Amino acid sequence: MSLTRRDFITGAIGASIGCVPALAACSPTSKTSAESETNSSETAATQGTSYSFEIPPQPIEESEIAETFEADVVVVGGGTAGLCTAVSAQQSGCSVILVSASKAPVSRGGSNHAAYSRVMEENGVPRYDVDRFFRKEFLVGGYTADQRKWFRFYNNSEEAMNWALDVIEPYGGRGILEGSPEGIDETDPMFTPVASHCFVDDEITSPSIGQSILVNALAKTLENEGGSIYWQNIGRQLVRGGVANGTEGRVEAVIAEREDGSYAKYAGKKAVVLATGDFSKDPEMMEKYCPWAIPTLVDVDVIDYDIGLFNGSLMPGDGHKMGLWIGAAWQKNVPNAAMIGGNGVNNFCNQPLLGHTGLMVNIRGERYSNEFACGALSNRNALMQTDGRTFMIWGQNYLEEGGPWYTYPRSHGDAPVSNEQTQEKWDKFVENGAWFKCDTLEELCEKLELPKETLDTIARYNELCEKGVDEDFHKDAQYMIPIKDAPYYGFENSVRFLTVLGGLNTDQYMRVCNAKDEPIPGLYNVGTMVGDFFSSVYTFMAEGSNYGACCLTFGYLTGKYIAENE
């Protein structure tokens, strides 16, 4: 197949490429990418790629730099990924500088997947079946996930998790295991292994919210052991081959904008590591790389580099852009995966992390799926319905027949909650207006603004439940509970956005690569921005895979790798 320049740019070879830098990288002479852009007769618009983030800004001149700092390793980003890399590199003998746009360490949630650890050993939890679990994860993404990375994670996550426990323990932290759905056979496609680790201390005792314990301990460790952290420094451009936004040679430094508007250069003799989180705050990047998740985004306008627990959009993709401008390629798999959840996960489920398993209908009142699916997958399917709108319906008899009921989040081994507690929770959602509770199904449909055909759907669902066989969508008989006793409950599902995953073309050692999969000398990335780890949708079939794999395990390994190989 012969490729024209346009074919190459628009991705006819099947890879999505950061266009201008990728071409500039092929040019025989060393130029900045901005020069390449100016000299080219084709603008981004004539190339058919009109996204402004693809056009490198004017390079920051050496004369504009107020101060220069130097270390073996410079890490850009103060979240879990950046901090793990920084501490690991330092403990492996490197001098380290971490620069972050945030004012302090950033974290959200707190589920960290690891295949095994001393916490699992202490709790008598076995290592899970790697083959079964990983194949399931790969299948969800149509086998587009990079298996080199997944198995490197699996093979090293125990060591990395035990190291993280060593980091938090001097600061009063400890590890616990998060509860996984119970009563699901290991052979079932929706089975989730017990492997999510959470950090707790005297103040934070609940699972799944303690990531701050890890990031704060990492930041203190870094500084106590001689590393430097510069907060409120926004990385703006990389220096490659001696020039800002250069497209040839080694990546030597990052130029950051400080609080007073001045520029500082942070030079990494061995490596510069990008760890700037996701790109959900950049509407153009979302349009190009993850359009399917756009309806779930809120608050894309205000950039807050310290943003914590928030279901909207997070970071503006600065690291991704800096990488593209100096010749990095985008990951091969587009659209990117996103992490989404829905009401079913938190508000009403008879298994934690599984969505609602009662009847789900779309805006026309049609049943559209086998409802027994992990929350993220079921919500991805919900987004395929007209206007992405779906509704959940059940009856009072579910309280007795639908349990056991659990809280979310919960620790491994926690007993189910009582039916009374569950009823209280239901009533609270009704009281605050999130759910409807009605004496008749007609009234419920009216409140949900669903058409009268919904009543036929409910009748058909009940008929199948009575038969004990779901002839329409083949849901497991144990979840076929008729909607028979009043009062009846219902609410409109809302799909919540957590983060968009992936970005730059990355090899298994976290080296950022060009379109030919060649590592760009001196440049690494870790965390959410690592390309081609996740594909399709974040499944939640192993809770905390992003923290556990891309941030913790790869952060830990990358620090060591740089120390040993650069």
Residues that bind ligand FAD (CB under 6 A): 76-82, 99-102, 106, 108-111, 208, 234-235, 275-277, 305, 309-311, 314-315, 318, 339, 498-499, 527-528, 544, 546-547, 551
CB of 15 to ligand FAD, least distance (A): 23
Comparing CB distances to ligand FAD, the nearer of 21 and 109 is 109
In angstroms, rounded to a whole number, what is the distance separating the alpha carbons of residues 436 and 447?
7
Minimum distance of ligand FAD from residue 58's CB (angstroms): 17
Nearer to ligand FAD, 20 or 552 (CB): 552
Cα angle: 545, vertex 546, 552; to 5 degrees: 95
Rounded-to-integer distance, Cα 384 and Cα 363, Å: 12
Nearest to 500 by CA among 209, 357, 356, 290: 290
* Cα distance between residue 377 and residue 508, in whole Å: 27
Say if CB 166 and CB 553 are below 8 A apart. Answer: no
For helices 554-565 and 147-168, the axis angle rounded to 10 degrees is 100
DSSP-derived letter for residue 14 is S
Q: How far apart are the first and last CA of the chain?
A: 38
Q: How far is the CB of 399 from ligand FAD (least distance, A)?
A: 29
- Give strand ranges (E) for 275-354: 338-342
- Is residue 166 a contact partner of residue 552, using CB atoms and an 8 Å limit? no
Would you say 110 or 402 has its CB closer to ligand FAD?
110
C-alpha pair distances (Å), 447 with each of 42, 385, 437, 488 = 56, 20, 9, 12
What is the C-alpha to C-alpha distance for residues 183 and 265, in angstroms, rounded to an integer?
55
Least CB distance to ligand FAD at residue 553 (A): 11
| Minimum distance of ligand FAD from residue 213's CB (angstroms) | 13
What angle (nearest 5°) sits at the alpha carbon of residue 327, between those of residues 325 and 332?
105
Residue 364 C-beta: closest distance to ligand FAD, Å? 31
Residue 352 beta carbon to ligand FAD: minimum distance, rounded to whole angstroms: 13
Residue 248 or 318: which CB sits closer to ligand FAD? 318
**C-alpha distances in Å from residue 124, one per residue of 157, 373, 413:** 18, 28, 11
Question: Does residue 480 come out as left (phi exceeding 0), alpha (psi in the -120 to 50 range) or beta?
Answer: beta
Question: What ranges in 342-387 are assigned the alpha helix state H?
Answer: 343-346, 375-382
Query: Nearer to ligand FAD by C-beta: 230 or 479?
Result: 230
Spatial CB neighbours of 437, under 8 Å, sequence gap ≥ 6: 426, 427, 430, 487, 488, 489
Q: By C-beta, is 227 or 402 nearer to ligand FAD?
A: 227
Smallest gap from Cβ 208 to ligand FAD, in A, equals 6
User: What are the distances in angstroms from CA 57 to CA 39, 53, 322, 461?
Assistant: 14, 9, 10, 58
Kindly tell me which of 237 and 369 has the beta carbon lying closer to ligand FAD. 237
Of the pair 79, 355, the CB lying nearest ligand FAD is at 79
Spatial distance between the Cα atoms of 200 and 206, rounded to a whole number of angstroms:
7
314 vs 562 by CB, closer to ligand FAD: 314
Please report the sign of the dihedral spanned by the C-alpha atoms of residue 181, residue 183, residue 187, residue 190. negative
Nearer to ligand FAD, 211 or 422 (CB): 211
Closer by beta carbon to ligand FAD, 248 or else 543: 543
d(CA 433, CA 440): 18
Return d(Cα 540, Cα 300) in angstroms, integer: 24
CB nearer to ligand FAD: pick between 90 and 237: 237
Q: Which of 415, 477, 364 is nearest to 182 (CA)?
A: 415
Distance of closest approach, residue 548 Cβ to ligand FAD, in angstroms? 6
Min CB(255)–ligand FAD separation in Å: 10
* E runs forming strands in 42-127: 65-76, 96-99, 112-113
Pick 103 or 135: Cβ nearer ligand FAD: 103
**Position of minimal CB gap to ligand FAD:** 109
Q: With respect to ligand FAD, which residue has the nearer C-beta, 296 or 499?
A: 499
DSSP for 478-492 reads: GG-----SSSEEEEE
Choose between 81 and 213: whose C-beta lies nearer to ligand FAD.
81
Cis status of the peptide bond prior to 404, with omega within 30 of 0: yes
Question: Strand 263-274 to strand 495-500: parallel, antiparallel, or no bridges (unpaired)?
Answer: unpaired
